[in-house]
Each structure stands twice: as C-alpha cells, then as structure tokens.
Structure 1
Amino acid sequence: MLVRIVKMSFEPTKIEEFLANFEANKSKIRAFGGCSFLELYRDQNNTNIFFTYSYWNSENDLNNYRHSELFKSVWAKTKPLFNAKPEAWSVDKLVSLN
C-alpha cells in the first residue's frame, strides 16, 4: 500500500473555492480505482494550509489517477488558488496503531 500526502497552501480568499471543489469531487476521487482511503486536513495555526492523505493499492493506481481526466479537471480548478508550490510525498506505512 502506498500512502500519498499532499500539502497545499492557498490564498486566504480562495479557500472557500477550494473547499467547494473538494466537496464536489471527494467521492469521485475516493471511488477511483485503487484508492482505498481519502481524508482532508487543515492546519490549526495556518488555516490556509491543507493536506490530503490518501491510500493507494499501488504506485500504478496513483499514477493512473494522476493521469486521469478526473485529476486533470480537479487540478485545473485547484492550481490557480495556490499561494505556494504544493508539496507531495509517497510513503510506505510502517506502523499503525488503533
């Protein structure tokens, strides 16, 4: 399993637009082949900074999503809202405690 973490920083005046776009597409992203988990986080102190946290069955599944029409349409609406370059990490989960 691959865990994908994406950090995004938005212009404060664009946050509602981002949230509306995420709300409209979150179920489609989660239902995309190979995605088994999706969450959105917001920094408590810097409230214009958000993180997505998603689980993918494989790197191939993530790449299929990143090259899909769904990703292209979501990203086209998201990218102009940034006030800093987004950062992304693909990581392996080593330990999980419930």
Structure 2
Amino acid sequence: MKTEKFVKEGSIVRKIWEKSDTILLIFAGASAEFALNKAVDWLYFTGKLPKDPLGRLFSTVSYARSIVFAEKQEAYQTIDLINQIHSAVESKRGTNIPD
C-alpha cells in the first residue's frame, strides 16, 4: 500500500527543495532580511544562530526537507516537533514568535 506524501510528487515545492543552489539563494535572501526586520530577534534568543550560523542553516534545511519529502504522518511529526521547540522558546522569552 502506497502512503500519501505530504507534498505531492512533481510539486514546485519539491523542485525548489531538491536543489541546493535554490535553497542557498533563498537562505541568502532571508539572511539579508535579518538586519531589516526586528521580528526575527527571536532567532537570536537561544544564542544558537550567532554561535553556529552554518549549523543552523543545515538544521533548518534538514527540517524542511524532512517535511517536504516525507509521508504525511512523518511530516506532521516533524511539524509537531518544531512547534514544541518554538513553544519552549516562546515560554522562555515570555512572548510569542511573530507570524
């Protein structure tokens, strides 16, 4: 029995996340936004991003790929894990992570 993928085969999302060059371009643009957007200050709260920016990049890409290329149930488990991590950061900061 074939299980359902979280993101359908042939989706543009899959095409984007399967190419390293595209991922690096997206993250380069996103990192440039950090200096302009106060809403991303939560990313620095734990100290992990400034301590190991490349490690955080690879970690984020790993999470994203484990959602995009996963079966639905596995993707939901990864999303739940991310939500738990973010909830812990929100609790320690005493404020919500912005949308």
TM over 0.5: no
**Rg (Cα) greater in structure:** 2
Q: TM-score when scaled to structure 1?
A: 0.27
Instruction: Kindly indicate whether structure 1 or structure 2 has the higher relative contact order, using CA contacts under 8 Å at least 6 residues apart.
Output: 1
Higher helix share: 2
Higher strand share: 1
